[in-house]
Every structure is written in C-alpha cells, then in structure tokens.
Amino acid sequence: MGESAGAKRPKAAKPGPGVDPVAILSAMTATPPVSSSSTHLAAARRTLALPTPPKIGVRIAGTGSQLPSRVVSNADIATIVDTNDEWIHQRTGIRERRVCDPTKGESNRWLCAESLRKALADAKMQATELDLIICGTITQDMRCPSTACLVAGDLKAGTAAAWDLGAACSSFVYALNTAHDLIRMGNYRAIGVIGCDTVSVLVDYTNRGVCILFGDGAGAAVLRATDDQTKGCIAQINHADGSSWPDLYMPGEDWMIPEGADRSTHKSGCLQMNGKAVFKFAVSTFQELIQQTLDKAGLSAGEVDLYVCHQSNMRILEAARDKFGIPEHKLLTNIERVGNTSAGSVPLLLDEIARQGKIKEGMKVMFVAFGAGLTWSSSLWQV
C-alpha cells in the first residue's frame, strides 16, 4: 500500500471508545520512510474508516403536560360495570383517571397544544423557533390534517414541519428517538415532541377488562441542539412485532375483526384487548428492554438515575423494580392518579418529575414504553 519494502509501521491503537481518531492518524502519518506521504495518509484513512464522532449534543430544553378537567374515579366506573375500587387498585394500581370533557373544549388537539405551549414556556422559547413538531398519538380528533399541523397552527409555529407518529403507547419514546437523531444529524435545531392520547374515545364503557385502565392526557418536550456533546441519547431501542396486533387493536368496522375472534364481544370503533396476553408480553418485554438498553450503553441498572416508564399497570412496573433492584425513588409512578394515558404516559410523568426538580444536569434517564402494535421502545439519555 505504497510503503517501501522493509519499512515498519508503528502499531496504531485499536479504535474504540475514548480513542481520538486525529491522534491515531497523526501516529500513522509519522511513520518512518515511506515512498509517498500523501498515498500513505489516504491509505491510513481508508484503513481506519472511523465513524464521524457526533458534533451536536441534544438537550431537553423544556417539558410540559396537560390533563383534562374531568376526574373519573373507580367508584364512578363501578356505577357502570360490575367492579369495585379494591379490585381495580389491587390489579392495576389505579384509583382515578382523567377524561376529556368536550363541552369545555377539551380534546386531543387541545391537550397537545397546551402541553407543547407549556414546554415552550419552560424552554423560554417561541413556537416560531421550532423547526419541527412531532405528535405521537393514535387518537387524533381529525384524520386529516395531522394533529401536529393543528398544533402548529394553534401555537403559530410558522412553517415548522409537522407530522404525527403512531406507535400507540410507545409513540412518545419512538418520537423522542426520531427527534433526537434528526437533531444529531444536523438537519434540525429545535423540535417539539408531543405524546398524547384520548383513549376514552375508543373505550367501550361496558367492557370492564378495558375501561378500568385508560385515561386521557398529554405531555411534551422541546429538544434543542447544544454544543455540549455529552448531552443526548446514549442508547435507544425501537421494535415492533406486527404479527401480534390482534392482542390490542381497534377495528374501525366489522370486516376488520380478525378471524377467530369472538364477534359477539367485539364492537367496531372500540378498543379490543387480550389483557392476559398483553400483560405477559409487557412484563417480559419491559425487563428485556431495560436490560438490552443497559447493555448497549455499557451501564448497570444502578448507574441509571431515573427510569421514566409507561404507566400501564402498577404490577408491571413493580416487576421491573424487583427484577433490577431499582429503588422506588428512581422509578416513580403516577398511575394511581391518571391511569394508563397511552402515548401521554411517559411525557406526562417526565414533566411531573421535572417540575418537582428531580432531574438534575448530567443525570442518566431511561425512558421505556410498550403498547399496541405490538411496539416497544427505550431511550437512555444523559440530560
């Protein structure tokens, strides 16, 4: 490769974490007699083929959230279906949830807009400073246009790009990873990420296996580029198993009901859930997801400062705490007060934790979610 016969090249350090590619190149170019230094340099560059280190850090500049005004307690649900507060609390950890009141103008769009408005205020930014709005939701008020576009209009975000992302309860974490990587690549400087669902519009309130779980709610985060390269996502995982969709879905019309399903218990327009199957999937997936993310980052469970997890069922969260020995103050919950808010769950909790001053600079925070699809996603940050 252009070296003179017999010339010995000094051994270059093996590229790896913490190794400066510029230093390696310098060491290689300092090689004694070569026939052509420029040929040698080119060869060295080819041999190294190092990935360009990221030059842009990403920070969570602000958070916000919004809940509807109407409180629906377990006692309220017990007036509709055969259940009681004790059963619901024991099996899910939920005491009450919030549901939109359309007579007060509460809707998916309103929740999304308010949560992003608050996140922008927290970041001390104007909506016009956003380059993009991603709204994670599967319960849009309108099929067209996207909720993100409606929010961009409501907040006067100028010509910021806007789209919705649908991964059910995993939507926010999927969107967070997407937004992070778009900023990291240098194409965007500021992105508003929203997670919101108004699952109450999909719930059959005569189905006690489903109606006890869900509530409405939204949260948002504003991500910004920063020169501090230590900030941003350290490891992320996004997956789906599309073959398991019949475990949790909403058939718009009767023909969408899959073969073999009990048609007498299915209602088009209403959420169908195989609670036991989803529970089993959730317990194992949650734990695998946390472990895989830790492995990817080369960290132990104890080195993560906070786990912000999808509030699906208290028993699923407790199983994860037990498995990894995570103390309660590192895996906080709000399911008792808000129920399962699907895509709203993770950002809603994030905002609550942030406003309590529990997120400090430099902390490692892991976001974890799973949901219909089936989908699952994690995002481990140094904030």
Contact residues for ligand UT7 (CB under 6 A)?
Answer: 83, 87, 91-92, 169, 208-209, 212-213, 275-276, 278-279, 282, 312-313, 340, 371
Least separation, in Å, of the C-beta of 381 and ligand UT7?
22
**Among 315, 321, 325, 379, CA closest to 350:** 379
**Element spanning 180, H or E:** helix 171-184
Would you say 130 or 210 has its CB closer to ligand UT7? 210
Of 25 and 314, the one with the shorter C-beta distance to ligand UT7 is: 314
Distances (CA, A) of 33 to 2, 23, 37, 45, 158: 11, 19, 9, 18, 60
Closest CA to 237 of 190, 184, 173: 173
Based on the residue annotation, tell me whether 310 is a catalytic residue of this protein: yes
Nearer to ligand UT7, 171 or 379 (CB): 171
- The span from the CA of 315 to the CA of 332, in Å, is 13
C-alpha–C-alpha distance, residues 153 and 335, integer Å = 32
User: Minimum distance between the CB of residue 313 and ligand UT7, rounded to whole angstroms?
Assistant: 4
Angstrom distance (rounded) from CA 138 to CA 169? 9
Residue nearest to ligand UT7 (CB): 275
Q: Give the E-state strand segments of the chain in sequence order.
A: 57-66, 70-73, 96-99, 132-136, 161-165, 190-198, 216-226, 232-240, 248-249, 272-273, 306-309, 364-371, 375-382
Helices 108-122/147-154 angle, 10° precision: 50
Give the nearest distance from C-beta 212 to ligand UT7 in angstroms: 5
Question: H helices of 226-359, where?
Answer: 275-297, 314-324, 335-338, 345-355
- Residue closer to ligand UT7 (CB basis): 183 or 202: 202
Type of residue at 339: G
Supply the minimum distance, in Å, between the C-beta of residue 371 and ligand UT7. Answer: 5
Whichever of 324 and 376 has its CB closer to ligand UT7, that residue is 376
Shortest spacing between CB 214 and ligand UT7, in angstroms? 8
Active site annotation includes 340: yes
CB of 149 closer than 8 Å to CB of 356: no
Nearest distance from C-beta of residue 211 to ligand UT7, angstroms: 8
**By C-beta, is 222 or 350 nearer to ligand UT7?**
350
Residue whose tokens read 């996603």? 377
Q: Select which of 112, 169, 196, 309 is catalytic.
A: 169
DSSP summary character for residue 158: T
Q: Does residue 155 contact residue 127 with C-beta atoms inside 8 Å?
A: yes
Looking at the annotation, which residues are catalytic? 169, 310, 340
